[in-house]
């Protein structure tokens, strides 16, 4: 199994879009209570109840942000360029 989204990809949601900022393969052991809370869940169990699909064993931490209708997204550079001004 592999991630069904790609970094930098835009995907329709409601009236706006989800933009994927990063994808990181992790192990289930790295899913902490803090990560679950940061992701909007009360517990690791609640997160896994929603996130688990099928028999796959791979886990991806996907960070994203929502763009409301009509919003423009600015590029998020991994390696900022230096300008000699």
Euclidean distance between CA atoms 71 and 17, whole angstroms: 9
Residue with tokens 């001004």: 85
| Mean pLDDT per 10-residue section of the chain, whose length is 85 residues | 83 93 93 95 94 82 92 61 49
In a domain, 35, yes or no: yes
The secondary element (H helix, E strand) that includes residue 78 is none
pTM reported for the whole predicted model: 0.72
Q: Identify the domain containing residue 23 by its residue range.
A: 10-67
Instruction: Answer whether residue 78 is part of any domain.
Output: no
The whole-number pLDDT of residue 54 equals 75
Number of domains in the chain: 1
Residue 84 lies in a domain: no
Q: Residue 11 and residue 22: Cα distance in Å, rounded?
A: 14
């Amino acid at each position: 199994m592999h991630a069904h989204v790609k970094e930098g990809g835009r995907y329709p949601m409601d009236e706006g879009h989800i933009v994927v900022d990063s994808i990181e393969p992790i192990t289930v052991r790295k899913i902490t209570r803090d990560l679950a809370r940061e992701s909007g869940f009360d517990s690791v169990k609640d997160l896994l109840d929603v996130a688990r699909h099928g028999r796959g064993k791979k886990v991806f931490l996907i960070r994203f942000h929502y763009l409301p209708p009509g919003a423009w997204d600015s590029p998020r550079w991994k390696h900022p360029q230096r300008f000699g001004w």
